[in-house]
Chain A
Amino acid sequence: MDEEPERAKRWEGGYERTWEILKEDESGSLKATVEEILFQAKRKRVFESHGQVRLGMMRHLYVVIDTSRTMEDQDLKPNRLTSTLKLVEYFVEEYFDQNPISQVGIITTKNKRAEKLTDLAGNPKKHIDALKKAKDSTCGGEPSLYNSLSLAMQTLKHMPGHSSREVLIIFSSLTTCDPANIYELVKTLKALKIRVSVIGLSAEVRVCTVLTRETGGSYHVILDESHFRELLMFHVKPPPATSSSECSLIRMGFPQHTIASISDQDAKPSFSQAHLDSTSGGPGLSMGGYFCPQCQAKYTELPVECKVCGLTLVSAPHLARSFHHLFPLEAFQESPLLLHHTERFCEACQGELKDKSVFTCPSCNSVFCVECDLFIHDTLHCCPSCIHSRSAP
Chain B
Amino acid sequence: MSAEDEVSLLVIVVDVNPIWWGQQANREPQFTLSKCLDAVMVMGNSHLVMTRTNKLAIIASHCQESHFLYPCKLWKSGDGHGDENASTSGDGKYELLSVANDFIAEEIKNLMSRTEVKGNQTDTLLAGSLAKALCCILSTKMLTGQEMKSRILVVKAAEDCALQYMNFMNVIFAAQKQSILIDACVLDSDSGLLQQACDITGGLYLKIPQKIALAQYLLWVFLPDSDQRSQLVLPPPVHVDYRAACFCHRNLIEIGYVCSVCLSIFCNFSPICTTCETAFKIPLPQVVKSKKKKLKPSTHTCK
Q: Which residues in window 44-74 of B have CB below 8 A to A?
A: 64-66, 68, 71, 73
Evaluate contact between A248 and B281: CB separation under 8 angstroms.
yes
Evaluate contact between B258 and A250: CB separation under 8 angstroms.
yes
- A181 contacts chain B at the CB level, 8 A cutoff: no
Residue of B136, B138, B167, B270 with most chain A CB atoms under a 10 A cut-off: B167
Q: Chain A residues near B121: list those with CB within 8 A.
A: 390
- B216 contacts chain A at the CB level, 8 A cutoff: no
- B174 contacts chain A at the CB level, 8 A cutoff: yes
Q: Chain B residues near A322: list those with CB within 8 A.
A: 263
Per-residue 0/1 for A211-233: is the Cβ within 8 Å of any B Cβ (1 yes, 0 no)?
Answer: 00000000000000000000000
Q: Chain A residues near B253: list those with CB within 8 A.
A: 254
Evaluate contact between B244 and A319: CB separation under 8 angstroms.
yes
CB distance from B116 to the nearest CB of A (A): 15
Evaluate contact between A250 and B257: CB separation under 8 angstroms.
yes
- B28 contacts chain A at the CB level, 8 A cutoff: no
Chain B residue nearest to A345 in the complex (CB): B73
Evaluate contact between A326 and B263: CB separation under 8 angstroms.
yes
Partner of B243, one of A58, A97, A247, A256: A256
Chain B residue nearest to A323 in the complex (CB): B166
- A293 contacts chain B at the CB level, 8 A cutoff: yes
- A387 contacts chain B at the CB level, 8 A cutoff: yes
CB distance from A55 to the nearest CB of B (A): 8
Chain A residue nearest to B140 in the complex (CB): A349
Partner of B68, one of A327, A350, A352: A350
Evaluate contact between A381 and B77: CB separation under 8 angstroms.
no
Per-residue 0/1 for A43-54: is the Cβ within 8 Å of any B Cβ (1 yes, 0 no)?
Answer: 000000000001
CB distance from A42 to the nearest CB of B (A): 11
Per-residue 0/1 for A372-393: is the Cβ within 8 Å of any B Cβ (1 yes, 0 no)?
Answer: 1001100111101101111111
Per-residue 0/1 for A253-277: is the Cβ within 8 Å of any B Cβ (1 yes, 0 no)?
Answer: 1111111010000000000000000
Interface residues on B, range: 35 or more
- A86 contacts chain B at the CB level, 8 A cutoff: no
A390 and B125 contact, Cβ closer than 8 Å, known pairs A317-B196, A351-B139: yes
Chain A residue nearest to B259 in the complex (CB): A249
- B239 contacts chain A at the CB level, 8 A cutoff: yes
Partner of A293, one of B73, B134, B143, B255: B255
Q: Chain A residues near B177: list those with CB within 8 A.
A: 97, 379
- A371 contacts chain B at the CB level, 8 A cutoff: yes
Q: Which residues in window 250-297 of B have CB below 8 A to A?
A: 253-263, 265-266, 269-270, 273, 278-281, 283
Bound-state Cα–Cα, A331 to B236, Å: 43
Q: Chain A residues near B256: list those with CB within 8 A.
A: 251-254
Q: Chain B residues near A344: list those with CB within 8 A.
A: 77
Q: Chain B residues near A252: list those with CB within 8 A.
A: 255-258
Partner of B138, one of A251, A372, A382: A372
Chain A residue nearest to B121 in the complex (CB): A390
Q: Chain A residues near B200: list those with CB within 8 A.
A: 317
Bound-state Cα–Cα, A254 to B76, Å: 49
Partner of A248, one of B65, B239, B280: B280
Q: Chain B residues near A57: list those with CB within 8 A.
A: 260-261, 263
- B179 contacts chain A at the CB level, 8 A cutoff: no
Evaluate contact between A315 and B242: CB separation under 8 angstroms.
yes
A350 and B136 contact, Cβ closer than 8 Å, known pairs A293-B255, A319-B258: yes
Evaluate contact between B128 and A387: CB separation under 8 angstroms.
yes
Q: Chain A residues near B77: list those with CB within 8 A.
A: 344, 352
- B169 contacts chain A at the CB level, 8 A cutoff: yes
Evaluate contact between A380 and B255: CB separation under 8 angstroms.
no
Evaluate contact between A311 and B255: CB separation under 8 angstroms.
yes
Q: Chain A residues near B143: list those with CB within 8 A.
A: 351
Partner of B127, one of A256, A349, A371, A387: A387
CB distance from A379 to the nearest CB of B (A): 5
Evaluate contact between B166 and A251: CB separation under 8 angstroms.
no
- A348 contacts chain B at the CB level, 8 A cutoff: yes
Q: Which residues in window 43-73 of A have CB below 8 A to B?
A: 54, 57-58
Q: Chain A residues near B273: list those with CB within 8 A.
A: 247, 249
- B115 contacts chain A at the CB level, 8 A cutoff: no
- A320 contacts chain B at the CB level, 8 A cutoff: yes
Q: Total A-B pairs in contact (CB under 8 Å)?
A: 181
Q: Chain A residues near B142: list those with CB within 8 A.
A: 371
Chain A residue nearest to B123 in the complex (CB): A390
A248 and B66 contact, Cβ closer than 8 Å, known pairs A323-B166, A372-B138, A382-B131: no
CB distance from A144 to the nearest CB of B (A): 34
Evaluate contact between B239 and A319: CB separation under 8 angstroms.
no
Evaluate contact between B174 and A380: CB separation under 8 angstroms.
yes
- A333 contacts chain B at the CB level, 8 A cutoff: no
CB distance from B78 to the nearest CB of A (A): 11
- A157 contacts chain B at the CB level, 8 A cutoff: no
Partner of B136, one of A293, A349, A382: A349
Partner of B244, one of A162, A316, A345, A349: A316
A387 and B125 contact, Cβ closer than 8 Å, known pairs A248-B281, A256-B243: yes
A58 and B260 contact, Cβ closer than 8 Å, known pairs A97-B177, A323-B166, A371-B142: yes
A388 and B260 contact, Cβ closer than 8 Å, known pairs A350-B71, A375-B135: no
- B146 contacts chain A at the CB level, 8 A cutoff: no
Q: Chain B residues near A348: list those with CB within 8 A.
A: 131-132, 135-136
Evaluate contact between A257 and B170: CB separation under 8 angstroms.
no
Evaluate contact between A247 and B242: CB separation under 8 angstroms.
no
- A163 contacts chain B at the CB level, 8 A cutoff: yes
A54 and B66 contact, Cβ closer than 8 Å, known pairs A348-B132, A379-B178: no
Partner of A389, one of B64, B68, B134, B263: B64
20 A-B pairs in the complex with CB atoms less than 8 angstroms apart? A241-B261, A247-B280, A249-B266, A249-B269, A249-B270, A250-B260, A252-B256, A293-B254, A316-B244, A316-B245, A326-B263, A344-B77, A350-B132, A352-B77, A379-B178, A380-B135, A382-B166, A387-B125, A388-B64, A393-B166
**Chain A residues at the B interface, C-beta cutoff of 8 Å:** 54, 57-58, 97, 161-163, 241, 246-259, 261, 293-294, 311, 315-317, 319-324, 326-327, 344-352, 369, 371-372, 375-376, 379-382, 384-385, 387-393
Apart from the given pairs A350-B139, A382-B131, 16 other A-B contacts in the complex at a CB distance below 8 Å: A58-B260, A163-B260, A246-B281, A247-B259, A252-B257, A254-B243, A257-B240, A315-B242, A322-B263, A349-B138, A349-B139, A350-B71, A379-B178, A387-B125, A388-B65, A390-B125
